Amino acid sequence: MPELPEVETTRRGVSPHCEGQRVTAVEVRDHRLRWPVPDQLPALLVGQVFQSVERRAKYLLFRTSAGTLLVHLGMSGSLRLVPQGEPPRRHDHIDILLQNGLCLRYHDPRRFGCCLWLERGELHPLLGKLGPEPLSANFDGKYLYGCSRGRKGPIKNFIMDAKVVVGVGNIYANEALFLAGIRPDRASGRISRARYDDLASQIKQVLTTAISSGGTTLRDFVGGDGKPGYFAQKLFVYGRKGEACKQCGHTLRETRLGQRSSVYCVTCQR
């Protein structure tokens, strides 16, 4: 599933070509996404100018004076800019034609994403209960420590809870916990403030590095410029069960937390 760095990479890839551009036409080939694409979407978008392209958690927000196009890439979705008139591939469900001659094309083989419309000033329920952005100033060790008091669940599940902090998906949770030296199954309420300071710092660093590298290469993800990311080359633990720890040489182990794979080092993480 595209995670925060992949979505941010997409935002950075498409925004220079979309911001300030008027929508000239919209074609919806398949309305059957996770939530149906509104029938009135073409009528609402045509003639509008994309004032900005923003990101909130894993959602992309295309702002206009009339409202906002809310896009989520789901498990396999991507947004790409192609020349108008380029024939659609299979699973190219939505085309948004722009005044500059480009087409913003939404591709989603599994159809778990969404393209919804928000009226001006409307706060969609999908955005209403989200925690802070991990790269913002109000996300730090003090915040995590306060939220964790009294919790008995695993630390990995805690930092992947979007109500606590948005955008820390499975890949980056594994990596940040390794770099902070914390076992993924340790109770979140039993971790000290100092270790939360380090964890918050590592989350920021891992995500920042992934964004600068273009996101993690996943089978289904293609960035906004059509190029995959390369952060996967730098992974310490994710997807490396049974391999040697790059830090100490011991064999990495795997456990399951919240139905997700968690790889860790018994020597480096405690």
Helix-helix angle 4-18:193-212, to 10 degrees: 40
Contact 53, 60 (CB under 8 A): yes
Helix-helix angle 193-212:170-180, to 10 degrees: 130
Structural element, H or E, at residue 9: helix 4-18
Indicate the annotated binding residues for DNA: 91, 110, 151
Q: Please state, in angstroms and rounded to a whole number, the distance separating the CA atoms of residues 33 and 77.
A: 10
Question: How far are the Cα atoms of 71, 94, 177 from residue 5, in angstroms, in the given order?
Answer: 15, 23, 17
Catalytic residue numbers? 2-3, 58, 260
Tokens 């609402």 locate to 44
